[in-house]
Structure formats: structure tokens, C-alpha cells
Chains A and B, each alone.
Chain A
């Protein structure tokens, strides 16, 4: 094993053996899957049944299917309550009722429909929305009758237009937005990894410089070998963590979806819950909920058929390594030029700014994947690692040359930045006490 191999091995093993690495690597996917599952689970959790007292001056709700599994509506007349103040007092003293809903006389006839919902324990926005839906549906129906519009006519009126996007080359129907989203997630991961591990390179360099071991080491190996060994070693740490994350996440979601929540991941279930609510309204409007079922199917189609996974993962690894080498070498140079982490601020900005800019462009690309900005940024090496994947996720057809050009530019640039970084690093690591300026760093480039 060459000396650079020894350095890579040390950088790799000391980091992988760290407790914080183990913790991050194992907890990362658990937290991620946990949040995801938790969010879905919480969203589907039935809240406790609600007893609702309704003071309904104009009998808006009288014809509605009042009861549902969760919401028990009781007319205030049954409790002998005739006005709003009595209702409020009653609710305060009652142990049975959770909510007092007041629908004033003008709620149907007025231009704006305002009702009041009194509570003891604040209801969730779901409850509020559900009750609004019920009242809204009832008012709608009353108004339809008043205007003599049939339900069928109303349904046609409310029908929403849908545009299906079809690629003219492959003649396939594709969901451009969602595919861009998947690309964005890849880009986001590259962004996070470049940041996380690039900073680790910088910290590692500062550590070696500040604890003064660096002079001993550069008497055995060339400074360039030390720098590259560190960058490559940390890159393997990143790849290791990424692979473990992907595998753990996959394993966790599979196990969870097969055992504890067999129905949870099934998109049709999600759709059903939505449908129940709509039934309560009693109006057969072309409902929004079919969108959800549709979305579920589309999502499956997207995941299994549309995303070119092989290409995406290949490109992900390439752009991760390329982007990391580019930024990692620059951050290594910064680490070498300063004495402590507090001095890094002024040099960090020019390095982090393009990275953050790339992230913004990638987010923009979801909306507008073919804009000039996206095309340019997928070529410029400082932004391409993050932006290009969003473009590719929309379909790689016709992008061949663009990908090749972008990759070549990235390779050429990271060779360039590595060379520059090596020169700055070589001089910087042995400079103590002097705060380096850009001018000085430029001079270091020309040292023999």
C-alpha cells in the first residue's frame, strides 16, 4: 500500500470508528423513516369522537346526513337552547359537548357566510375544515335549490380541467412535476453531502495544522498526497454513510410496511379516508378525492416505470464525487490558509455562495425545467452537481451531449481546483500566526 493509501485508510477508519458516525449513520434513516411514518400515521389517526351542539337558525343542516362516525351533531332544540348566549353557557357547564356551532340566520342569504364555533379544547384544523365542509355543502345545496340549478349542472360547472403531459418523442404520459421532485431530492442529497463532508475536510486540515502534527507528516509524504489522502478518505466515509442510509431506509420501510402498517403505504387507503368526508356533504360533485387515488397510482408508476434509476444512481455517484472533489479541495485550501475555525468566515462565503445558488436553481427547476438558467447551471461545474440531476430526472432523452459536456467540464474543473488547492495548501499548512489574505494566497500559487 502506498503512502497515500495509508493516509486514506487513517482518515477513513478514524472517522468510521467514531461514535458520532455510528450514531448518525444508524439514527439518520431511523429518524427519516420515523418522521415519515409518524407523519402519515398521525394524519390518519382518528381523533376522538366529538359531540357537537348546533344552533341552526335557518335549518341549514336539517336535511344533511348529520351523523358520521366521528362527529355527533345534536340540534340545540333538543337541549332546549334558543339563543347563542344560552348555548355558550350550556357548553361551559356541559360535560357531554365539546363544541357549540352557531349558524346565524343570514348564513344562507348573506353574501358572506360566517358562523361561529365555540370550543372548550381547541379543535384541530381538520375538525374545523370538516365542519366547514359540511356547512358549506349544505349551504351550497340550499342555494342550488333556490337558483333552480340541478346537481348535474352544478357538477359540470365545478368540473376541473386536468392537463396530462405527454412527451412528444417517446409518446409517453409523464408527470413532469413529480419527476422533477425526485431529481430535486437527489440534488438536495448531493448538496447536503458536499456541505457535510467538505466541511469535514476543512476541519481535518485545520486540526492537523493547529495541533502541529502536519510538519511531521509532510516530512514523510508530499503535502499534495496528504491533502488528497484526506479528501479521498473522507469521500469514502461519505459514500459509506450514503450506502448504509439507503439500505437501512429501504429495509426499514419494507419491514414497517409489511408488518406494523400494512395498509399505511397503500395510496388507496389514503384516498378512502378522504372520500368518507366528502360523502357526508351529500353532494356528488366531481370530487377532489379522485385526484388522490390518481396521484397514488401515478406515484407508483413514477417510482417503478418512469424514473431512469440506473442512470440516476450512476449520475448521482458521479456528480457527488465530482462536486465533492471540487468543493472539498477548495475547502481544504481554506483550512490550510487559516489558523483556526473562527478565521474561516471570510473565505467560506465565496465557496458556499455558488453551492447555495445551485440549490435555489435546482428548486426553481422543479417548476421550470427547461429555462435557460437551469440549462446553464447544469453545465457550470460549480452548480452542475446539484442542478443536472433535476434535468435528467425529467427524461434523459436528447440530453446525451449535455451530460457528457457537463461531466467533462466538472472533471476539468476539479482537476484545476485541486491543483490550485494543492499549491495553497502546501504553503498554508506551515504558516502560523499570519492571517492569510487573498493576495497572499495568490502569491503562494507561484512559490516553487
Chain B
């Protein structure tokens, strides 16, 4: 049951900045204890949405629900936010400012200190407590920012480009911490350009482009939606025999002869041809060793979806300029 009620829901959010519409009727649902990827090119409106969730700005219209209740000031302590543009006080001791930030999220001072010490130990930075940010590298500062985002055990974690600036080792550390937090009950809203990590850890995604949501749903479903009838077939025999076995209903995208008797063909079925029917046709000509469906990567989906959008967008713009002229 609880899995069905989303912990976080944005309904028909509209936000305008002096004539420019930053968010146009955007709705997303984030199921409890899942990792949600908020994707989109730069300037698409992701940060605007995130700022609305954090109550830094208010939407012009639309509604945000947390656990089914309208978003309120008290929810601040249940949200952890790691902005894309993040920083720390340069001259303030690290421990002190971590405690301060935790206190601002509503944690009592003593508890904040204890919990922070645990996190500092986990990230092997407990010796830095009394240092200032000036003395740290960028990666080190990122660790502290991550800790201050999660220390008050928020129900909803909003991470804007959490992996930028981390080396691969720390990226993995943060990734595994995110997964651990999810397993412990947190819900994570992740905004990123790093499609690899989306594929790796996200359960659901929404793709925002030009202020609108153009794509959304479970990662597996989105992939299914974007997959075409493309297959990679490995076989014993020659490409010529393969090509001549079935007439019509498919096209050869790629054919690679590995050696005299081995080849790999990438094909696309057209005109509603079923894979089984196709295989029946070629099975007499060559010996099939493996058949794999080509699944598009998130990267591909992202690019295709955004490019589709922008071509239609461009046409509209062109029409408009024509009318104006």
C-alpha cells in the first residue's frame, strides 16, 4: 500500500520569471523509497522545480504534496538538499558549520555533533573537524556538503548533480551511500546529466525539456518505449546466405564477418514482421548462435527525446518568424 502512495508529488506546476515560463504544467510522482531521476538539458527548468520543492520560491500555480499533504514550512526538516551550486563558509571551522547547518534543519546541537562525528568517521575525514574550508580540496568539501545534506535523516533527499566534482572512488562512495539511504527508507530525487548513473541507480525518471515534461515513468518502461525492433544475431555461416534467406520485412543495419564461418548481423524488423517468423526463415540458411534485442541506453533516449522536441520546436519558431516577417 505505502509503496503505491507517492511520498512526493508535484501537480501541474507553473512558474514564470518576468515573461519567461520556466515550468509549464509539470507533474511528477516519486514513489516512496525509490530513486527518481530528474533529467533534462541545461536550462530546462530542473533547478526551478527543485527550488519550488525546497520552498525557496513559490510556484505560480500547481500543488506540491508530501506524503499526501500540501507542502508546508515544517517539511523543511524532512528534506535534505544538495544544490548544484554549493559552497561552505570559507573561514568557519568545518565541524562548527556542519553543526550549524544541521541545527538550521532542526537538529538539536548535541545530537547533531554525535551524528556528524559518525559520518565524518565513515568518510574518513574525522581529523578535519577543526580545519577551515580554505585548507581543503574541492573533493573534500564535496564530502562535507554531502554529509550536511543527509545528517538530519531526511525523508526526501534532493540531490542536484551530486556526482560532479567527485573522483571515481568518491563517486562510488556517494553512490553506495545513496543506495544505502534508500534501503533505510529515504526517497531520493536526483538531478543529473550523468546518464550512466541514472541507469545504474534510478528506478523512475522524468525528462524535462524547454519547461515541459516530455517523458516519464519507470526506467525499464521508458527503455521499452524507446526500443525498436532491433536485434543482434550471431550465427555460423556467411552474410550472403543470411541476407538471401528471407525476402522483405527487415533491413540489415550492420553485418560483420568475424571469420570464414562466423558473422554478426544487426537487423531491424519492419512492417510488423515477428522475430520468430524471421528466425524461421533464416534458420535453414545459417546456424543461429545467439539472438539479442538491442536496448537503447538512457544516453541515447535522452538525446533522441530532446532532439525530437527541438526539431518540432524549431519548426514552430520558424513559422512564427515567417508570420512576423
Contact = CB atoms under 8 A, between A and B. Distances in A.
Contacts of A148: none
A94 interface: no
A14 B92 contact: yes
A31 B142 CA distance: 45
Interface of B: 17-18, 51, 54-58, 60, 76, 79, 81-83, 85-92, 100-101, 103-105, 145, 148-149
Contact of A6 (B88, B91, B103): B103
Given A219-B54, A219-B56, A211 B101 contact: no
B81 A216 contact: yes
A97 B235 CA distance: 122
Contacts of A6: 100, 103-104
Contacts of B145: 216
Given A220-B76, A443-B18, A211 B89 contact: yes
A212 B90 CA distance: 11
Given A430-B56, A448-B60, A216 B100 contact: no
A215 B85 contact: yes
A42 interface: no
Contacts of B17: 447
A432 interface: yes
A221 interface: yes
Interface in A3-44: 3, 6-7, 10, 14
Contacts of A212: 83, 85-87
18 contacts: A3-B104, A10-B100, A207-B90, A208-B89, A211-B90, A216-B87, A216-B145, A216-B149, A217-B104, A218-B54, A219-B55, A219-B83, A220-B76, A220-B101, A221-B76, A430-B56, A432-B85, A448-B58
B81 A213 contact: no
A221 B85 contact: no
Nearest to B160: A215
Interface of B is mostly: loop
A448 B18 CA distance: 11
A207 B60 CA distance: 30
Given A215-B86, A216-B148, A432-B85, A14 B104 contact: no
Contacts of B104: 3, 6-7, 217, 220-221
Contacts of B86: 212-213, 215-216
Given A216-B101, A448-B58, A211 B76 contact: no
A216 B100 CA distance: 12
A221 B105 CA distance: 8
A220 B154 CA distance: 12
Contacts of B101: 216-217, 220
Contacts of B60: 448
A430 B48 CA distance: 11
A221 B103 CA distance: 11
B160 to A, nearest CB: 9
Contact of A219 (B76, B90, B103): B76
**Residue from A3, A207, A211, A216 whose CB has the most chain B CB atoms within 10 Å:** A216
B81 A430 contact: no
Interface string A404-446: 0000000000000000000000000010100000000001000
Given A219-B76, A219-B79, A443-B18, A213 B103 contact: no
B81 A219 contact: yes
